[in-house]
Every structure is written in C-alpha cells, then in structure tokens.
A and B are shown apart, each in its own frame.
Chain A
Amino acid sequence: AQRVTQPEKLLSVFKGAPVELKCNYSYSGSPELFWYVQYSRQRLQLLLRHISRESIKGFTADLNKGETSFHLKKPFAQEEDSAMYYCALNVMGGQGAQKLVFGQGTRLTINP
C-alpha cells in the first residue's frame, strides 16, 4: 500500500534555528516525492520535488531510499516560513495517470 507519514502535526522553532520536517513513505515502486506548502490564506503550492534536487527558499530535501524518508530541511528558519507543509508521494498509473498520496501535514510555526 502507498502511504506517507508525517509524524509531527505541529512544529515550533525560533527564528534562525534549523528546521527539519520529517516525512516517511511506503511504496513498492520507484518513489517520486514532493513537498507542498500552504501559507495562510493562500492555495496549496509546490515547494520542491526530489528529482529536481533543488533548493527553494532555502529548503532542501533528500530522498533516502534505505530509510524510506524525504525530510525537509532548512538551516536557518525565517518567520515567513510559518505555514502548513505536506509531503506527497506521486503514484503513477497507466497512460500517464497520476495521483498524489499526501501525508497529514505539519504546521510549522517560526517564533520571533
């Protein structure tokens, strides 16, 4: 079965401190993982995807197939990082069909 687990519902850190949002997945196929973010009163938007191996807004995430994890990290948190973060697994079907399996989300609060 496909499953994404985000163990922390709430995470609170101080500005300037490192941030790590945890994500673990269960999937028999080759995983493709994303982090989506939802800022207050804004729509859900893609933050980054593992195949791009990019850093967006200072965030990075590395896929660890051995530990089946895709943790999101940022070395120095900023107040504008406060948001809801969702880890998502892309499950491909036939003929290009795609669905995302989301974790329950982690609400990140950056304290001044």
Chain B
Amino acid sequence: KAGVTQTPRYLIKTRGQQVTLSCSPISGHRSVSWYQQTPGQGLQFLFEYFSETQRNKGNFPGRFSGRQFSNSRSEMNVSTLELGDSALYLCASRLGTASEKLFFGSGTQLSVL
C-alpha cells in the first residue's frame, strides 16, 4: 500500500497570503489528522477528520481550517499567513474505528516571509 502522501513538499508564501495543503491517506483509512511541527512548540495537534466531518480540533485560531472529501483525501487551509505559521505540517491517517496507530506523511514545509 502506498503511504500517506502530502503535497506540495515545500511552499514559500508571504505574510497575508493564504495557503492550501493536501493529504492523501493510506487506502482504506477514513481518519485524517493534521499536526504542526515547529522547533519551539514541537508537534501540536491541529484537527482530525473522519468521514468528511471534523471530529476533533486543537487550540489554533480560526485562520486554520480543513476539510475532508468523500475519498478521504484532506486539505488544510491557512488564511492571512503570519510569520509564526512557518512550520512543517504533518498529516497522519488511520482506519478511524478505534484507538489505533497513526501513519504519518513526510510533511509540507511552509515558509512564510
């Protein structure tokens, strides 16, 4: 099975712009989670989607949003980018029916200038 795929691998944006990141989960996985990784804050949970519904949300401002499509692919959007949004954004998938291991993608490295 192919692993979790994230695109693009790298992104450079300027302050005030908006960005959309994409994640394709492992085939058959219905849950997709997003995490932000920074040197200062480490790995922080953003949100989890299951069957196109947001099931859980972390402590991030409303500028961070996401969605999931019927094929379980997910997108994450950040509007009005700030310098502090520069981070590695990780997507992870799991079957979604119970507490299970997460499979992580390689991430999208976002740089905000």
The number of residues on chain A lying at the interface, defined by a beta carbon within 8 Å of a beta carbon of chain B, is 23
Residues in A lying within 8 Å of B, measured CB to CB: 32, 34, 43-46, 49, 86, 88, 90, 92-93, 95-105
Tally of chain B residues near chain A (CB < 8 A): 28
The answer to whether A98 and B56 touch (CB under 8 A), given A32-B99, A90-B99, A92-B99, is: yes
For residue B111, CB closer than 8 A to chain A, the reply is no
A43–B33 CB distance below 8 A? no
CA distance A96 to B97 in the complex (A): 7
Report whether B33 and A99 are in contact in the complex, using a CB–CB cutoff of 8 Å.
yes
Q: Is the interface of A mostly helix, strand, loop or mixed?
A: strand
A103 to B42 CA separation, bound complex (whole angstroms): 7
Q: A96-B50, A96-B55, A98-B56 are in contact. Are A44 and B90 (CB under 8 A)?
A: yes
